[in-house]
Amino acid sequence: MSRLSATHLLHRTALATALALAVTAVPVAAQDNAAAPSPALNVDNAALVAAGPAEDVNDPLEPVNRAIFWVNEGLDVVIIRPAAKVYRTVLPTPVQKGVRNVLRNLRSPLDLTNQLLQGDWHGAGDVLRRFTINTTIGLGGLMDVAADHGMPYEYESLDQTLAVWGIPEGPYLVLPLLGPSSVRDATGFVGEYFADPVSNYASNTDQDWITLTRGTLTALDTRAEYIEALDDVKRNSFDYYASMRSLYRQRRDGWIRDGKPDVEQMPDIPDYE
């Protein structure tokens, strides 16, 4: 691995920001395991609209966060959403699905690493099997053959890993351009960027277009998938900021629990003797 010069490091940091925008510019980024959800992007619009603010908002910087949120919202209205509509209009649905599959496949090294760090050996095995099947039979990841055979995509992040290790999330944050986050989430994103073999390869071979293209496609694909869902949330929310904060935390907590129900939210059952 080549040694980065100061100029190259600054350039790489700028690329990290571009990729961050791609991943988190949409406040309820895709739910993949869920995909991404991002990665798979299986969010019910009605559930999004019905979601309300979380009880423990953990938002001590709310005035500042709200100001940044509305700046980001302005950028979404003027640039991101229109670009996503063009993306969805120009590319047929099968092509969009193929792009999403490739992006998930490229993330496999990070998903695998996080599964291992969490001690989820079964999940790690699924990542390896998915990558092998989709890279070969699925033509480089264009087709999600593994999902058709009972191995759906499961998004795993360093934020989830740190949570499994017991590291607290820290205050809720809204980052300029990057959107909803937390101290732990932001730290995890930075760690993942510098550990990502795809980004490292692009940076060390002077092919930064790979990172920029990947980030741009991720942003457009994610935002295009959620146009109607976010429009519904905005239209039906009494407090749009609070609704988006709640949705972000629900999504994050769902990833951490791997989709399992939150026992703390279950009703108490009387103990009859």
In total, the chain counts a number of residues equal to 273
| 244 vs 23 pLDDT, higher one | 244
Is 141:101 a contact under the CB 8 Å cutoff? yes
Tokens describing residue 235: 């239209």
Residue pLDDT, tens place only, 50-74: 344 444 689 999 999 999 999 999 9
Going by pLDDT thresholds of 50, 70 and 90, the confidence category of residue 262 is: low
| pLDDT score for 9 | 45
Going by pLDDT thresholds of 50, 70 and 90, the confidence category of residue 261 is: low
Per residue, the 3-state secondary structure of the chain, as one string, reads CCCCCHHHHHHHHHHHHHHHHHHHCCCCCCCCCCCCCHHHCCCCHHHHHHCCCCCCCCCCCHHHHHHHHHHHHHHHHHHHHHHHHHHHHHCCHHHHHHHHHHHHHHCHHHHHHHHHHCCCHHHHHHHHHHHHHHHHCCCCCCCCHHHHCCCCCCCCCHHHHHHHCCCCCCCEEEECCCEEEEHHHHHHHHHHHHHCHHHHHHHHCCCHHHHHHHHHHHHHHHHHHCHHHHHHHHHHCCCHHHHHHHHHHHHHHHHHCCCCCCHHHCCCCCCCC
Segment among 74-78, 103-107, 166-170, 266-270 with least mean pLDDT: 266-270
- Report residue 154: phi and psi, to 5°: -130, 115
With both helix axes pointing from N to C terminus, report the angle between 197-204 and 183-195 in degrees, rounded to the nearest 10: 50
Residue pLDDT, tens place only, 178-202: 899 999 999 999 999 899 999 999 9
Segment among 20-29, 160-169, 229-238 with least mean pLDDT: 20-29
Q: ∠ at Cα 142 (29, 22), nearest 5°?
A: 25
Tokens describing residue 216: 């741009």
Going by pLDDT thresholds of 50, 70 and 90, the confidence category of residue 270 is: low
Chain-centroid distance of CA 40 in Å reads 10
Residue pLDDT, tens place only, 125-163: 999 999 999 999 999 999 999 999 999 999 999 999 999
| pLDDT score for 234 | 94
The residues, ordered by sequence, that sit 6+ positions from 195 with a Cβ below 8 Å of its Cβ are 110, 113, 158
Q: In whole angstroms, give the CA distance from residue 31 to residue 35.
A: 4
**Among 202, 162, 230, 211, which Cα is nearest to 19's?**
211
Going by pLDDT thresholds of 50, 70 and 90, the confidence category of residue 258 is: confident
Residue 272, pLDDT > 60, answer no
